[in-house]
Structure 1
Amino acid sequence: MSVKLATIAFDADDTLWENEAFFRMTQERFADLLSDYTERDHLAGRLLAAERRNLGQYGFGIKGFVLSMIETAIEVTDQSVPASVIAELIAAGQDMLRHPIHLLDGVEETVRALAEQHEILLVTKGDLLDQERKLAQSGLGDLFDGVEIVSAKTPEVYAGIFARHNVAPEAAMMVGNSMKSDVLPPLEAGAWGVFIPHNWTWEIEHAEAPEDHPRYRQLGDLGALPTLIETLDL
C-alpha cells in the first residue's frame, strides 16, 4: 500500500551543513598539543572513551567535546598538562563555535522544493545556542515549519515530535546521516527512515543498517530525495 507523506524531518549536522569535519580538525590540533605525552591512536581512543562516558552529563555538541578533551589531557599527562594547553583547547572550542556554516551541495534547492508540498521539520541534537546559531546562519530557517532541538533521538522522542505536529508516524519521514540517531529510532516509532551517508561520521553514531526494513531507504545525496518521495507517493 502506498503512503502519502505529509511531513519530512531533516537532521542538521552533516545532513544540511558540514559539522564533523571541524571536530576532526580540532582533534588533530588536540593530538599535536599532546604529542609529547602520548601516541595519536592512544589519545584518540582515550578521547572517544571520555566522550562516551560524558554524554549523559554534557550531552552532544562542541562544549561537551571541549570538556572531554580537557579531561583526557589531564588524564594522559597524569594531571601535569600545562595551563597553556588547556587555554589552547578552550580557544579551539571557541573557534568551532564561531565557524561559519557551509551548506552541503544541493541542500537549499532540495529543502525549498520539498517545502512547497510538505510540512518540513528540523530535528537535531546538540547545544541549544549553537544549533540556533547555525540555523540562523544557514539561511534555511524560514523553510521549516518547526524546529526541534533535542538532547537525544529516541523512538519516544520522535513519537512525541510527530504527535506535537499532528502527523501519523507512517506519514512522516526522517532524513539524516546517522544510522543510530536518524534512521533506527524513527523506524521504531513507525516512520520512514532515510540514510544519507556523510564522508565523516562520529564513531558513536555508527549502527548496522536495517536492510530488510520496508520503510528504510538509503540515498547517495540529498538531491535524490524528491524523486524518492515521488515514488513513495504513487
Structure 2
Amino acid sequence: MPITTIALDADDTLWQNEHFFRLTEQRFTDLLAPYTDAPDLKDRLIASVTKNLGFYGFGMKGFALSMVETALDVTDHRVPGQVIAEILAAGRELLSYPIETLPYVDQALAQLQDTHRLIVVTKGDVFDQERKIAASGLADYFAAIEIVGDKNAATYARIFERHTDGAARTVMVGNSLRSDILPALAAGSFAIYVPHDLTWSYEHAEEPTDEPRYAKIAHLGELAAAIAAFDAQT
C-alpha cells in the first residue's frame, strides 16, 4: 500500500514565517524599553501569546492583541496610547511581509505532483493563511487546502478521511513536532519532520525516533527519497 497523498504544513515548511514574528517581537521590545525595566519582555510576550491561544487562536491577530496586553501589564497600564498604536501597527505589518518560499519547495512540489495528491494542512487566521497561500504562487500544486484552528489527531483523522485514500496511505510533512508530526502519527499516517531554525518553542516536542512511520529530513529536496523509503518498508 504505497503512500498516495502528501499533506504539507505551510508556515516555516513551505515559506518563511517565524522570522517575521521575531522581527515584530524586537520592535515590541524597542517600543516598550523607555517605559519599563522588565528584563524579560520577550518571555512575557510569549507567555501571553501561549495563554491566549484558547481565546484568539494562532496567527497575527492573537499575537497583536497579546502584545497590547503585555504592554499594559508590564507598565501597570501607564504605556502611552501612541505606543499602543505603534504596537498595533507592528502587528498589522505582519500582513505585508513578502512570502519567501524555503529552499527546494518548488522543485519538490513540481516533482511530486505527478505521482501523489498534494494537500495543505495549516493552522492560523483564515484571512492571513489564504493571503499567504495566494501570494506564494504554490496554490495550483494542491488538490485541497485545509486551514484549521489547531492540529490534533481528530483534526487529522477528519482531513485524511475527506481528502486521502486513508491515513495509512498518507504522509504529513512539517516543521512542528507538536502540531505536524505527533498528532498525524496518532491519526495513523506517516510523518516527516523538516526542522526550521526558528520554530517557536511552543511547537517543540520529543522526536518519536522509535516510530517506523517517522522520518526526519534536512529540507524538502529530500522528501521524495524519504517517501520512497517508507514505500519500500510497506
Band of TM-score, shorter chain: over 0.9
2:147 alignment partner, SS class: strand
Q: CA deviation at 1:203?
A: 1.1
1:35 alignment partner, SS class: helix
Task: State the partner residue of 1:215.
Answer: 213
Q: CA deviation at 1:46?
A: 1.1
2:85 aligns with one of 52, 70, 87: 87
Rounded Cα–Cα distance in structure 2 between residues aligned with 1:64 and 1:41: 23
Rounded Cα–Cα distance in structure 2 between residues aligned with 1:166 and 1:199: 30
2:160 alignment partner, SS class: helix
Q: TM-score, normalised by structure 1?
A: 0.96
**Residue 70 of structure 2 corresponds to residue 69 of structure 1:** no
1:31–1:40 contact (8 Å) kept in structure 2: no
Rounded Cα–Cα distance in structure 2 between residues aligned with 1:39 and 1:167: 56
**Residue 161 of structure 2 corresponds to residue 163 of structure 1:** yes
2:7–2:173 contact (8 Å) kept in structure 1: yes
Task: State the partner residue of 2:21.
Answer: 23
Rounded Cα–Cα distance in structure 2 between residues aligned with 1:195 and 1:92: 31
Rounded Cα–Cα distance in structure 2 between residues aligned with 1:71 and 1:5: 45
1:132 aligns with one of 123, 130, 140: 130
Task: State the partner residue of 1:188.
Answer: 186
CA 1:147 to 1:78, structure 2 compared with 1: closer, same or farther past 3 Å?
same
Task: For residues 123-178 of structure 1, give each alpha carbon's deviation from its aligned partner in whole angstroms, at most 9, with x where no partner exists.
Answer: 00010011000000111101100000000100000000011114211100000000
Q: CA deviation at 1:187?
A: 0.3
CA 1:113 to 1:90, structure 2 compared with 1: closer, same or farther past 3 Å?
same
Q: CA deviation at 1:8?
A: 0.3
Instruction: Between 15-24 and 41-50, report the one with greater CA deviation.
Output: 41-50
Q: TM-score, normalised by structure 2?
A: 0.96
Q: CA deviation at 1:65?
A: 0.3
Instruction: Between 28-37 and 217-226, report the one with greater CA deviation.
Output: 28-37
Rounded Cα–Cα distance in structure 1 between residues aligned with 2:226 and 2:166: 20
2:110 aligns with one of 93, 112, 136: 112
Task: State the partner residue of 1:33.
Answer: 31
Rounded Cα–Cα distance in structure 1 between residues aligned with 2:6 and 2:37: 44
Q: Segments of 4+ in structure 1 off by > 6 A?
A: none
Equivalent residues, number: 232
Task: State the partner residue of 1:179.
Answer: 177
Rounded Cα–Cα distance in structure 2 between residues aligned with 1:42 and 1:71: 15
**Residue 140 of structure 2 corresponds to residue 103 of structure 1:** no
Task: State the partner residue of 1:143.
Answer: 141
2:121–2:146 contact (8 Å) kept in structure 1: yes
Q: CA deviation at 1:37?
A: 3.5
AA matched with 1:131: Q
Task: State the partner residue of 1:232.
Answer: 230
Rounded Cα–Cα distance in structure 2 between residues aligned with 1:116 and 1:41: 52
Task: For residues 90-137 of structure 1, give each alpha carbon's deviation from its aligned partner in whole angstroms, at most 9, with x where no partner exists.
Answer: 111121101110001110110111111111000000100110000001
Rounded Cα–Cα distance in structure 2 between residues aligned with 1:190 and 1:41: 44
1:98 alignment partner, SS class: coil
1:192–1:215 contact (8 Å) kept in structure 2: yes
